[in-house]
Copies of this chain bind each other. A is one copy, B any other.
Amino acid sequence: MTKSQPLLSLLLFIFISGTISQSIIQLSREHDVYCNSWRFSVETNNVGYWDLVPSRCVSYVQDYMTGDGYRSDSEVAASYALGFAKTVEIAGDGKDAWVFDVDETLLSNLPYYAVHGFGSEPFDELSFDEWVDLAEAPALHASLNLYKELKQLGFTVFMLTGRSEHQRNATAKNLQLEGYSDWERLILRESSDQGKPATLYKSQRRLELVNEGYRIHGNSGDQWSDLFGFAVSVRSFKLPNPLYYIP
């Protein structure tokens, strides 16, 4: 054994571990570029129906949801909603309306999804309903601020959610605990709405509002099925949601 062998081994070790960590960084960067683009296609509805977050993007989604990205995207969306709201002339007859979705719009289920794989696990209705019954979902701060500003401006606020009628008490309690108040109506799925695509159910309920004489100026939701269809609002505001898709 020559004297130079340990040094050679050390250099070889440094070289190999350097190459490996370089490869890991490179792979992680490629994943980020891809997952950013996946999120672009999710948020613009290019993807259409999707089931689970792609496995290579789960940690990306976790970072996005728990870091600055989600908070900032929500805030900037709310700021454009408020900017538009301020241009609306409020007639004073109580008919100038704004529609909010609930889940991932007024309330955040991030604490639930944080212990259920950030969108990587199939939806489990039983455990999600238990979570809803706790009435512990925190407010999305950007939406709570927007909500208060809209009330101040004189808008009549409707909440239109895919949650079911039997979840009314837990939902109302949760909303109140988180600082929401003075909404006009909280609209939930009745038994006759079960099985309807969200776009149809929500459009039908908006049409009822329009037929009651409400002018729906704005609509905030995290799903395109909150915003598309008929009896749509003048302006729609898409909140981010890379966790799940509702048709």
Contacts and interface: CB of A to CB of B under 8 A. Distances in A.
A11 B36 CA distance: 42
Report copies per complex. Answer: 2
A69 interface: yes
Contacts of A43: 40, 43-44
Residue of A76, A84, A235, A240 contacting most chain B CB atoms (<10 Å): A76
B44 A235 contact: no
Interface residues of A, number: 28
A26 to B, nearest CB: 12
B37 A75 contact: yes
A34 interface: yes
A40 B84 contact: no
Interface stretch (A45-53, A101-109, A176-184, A196-204): A45-53
Pairs of residues from A and B, 10 with the lowest C-beta to C-beta distance, nearest first? A37-B76, A44-B238, A37-B72, A37-B73, A46-B80, A40-B73, A46-B77, A33-B68, A33-B72, A46-B237
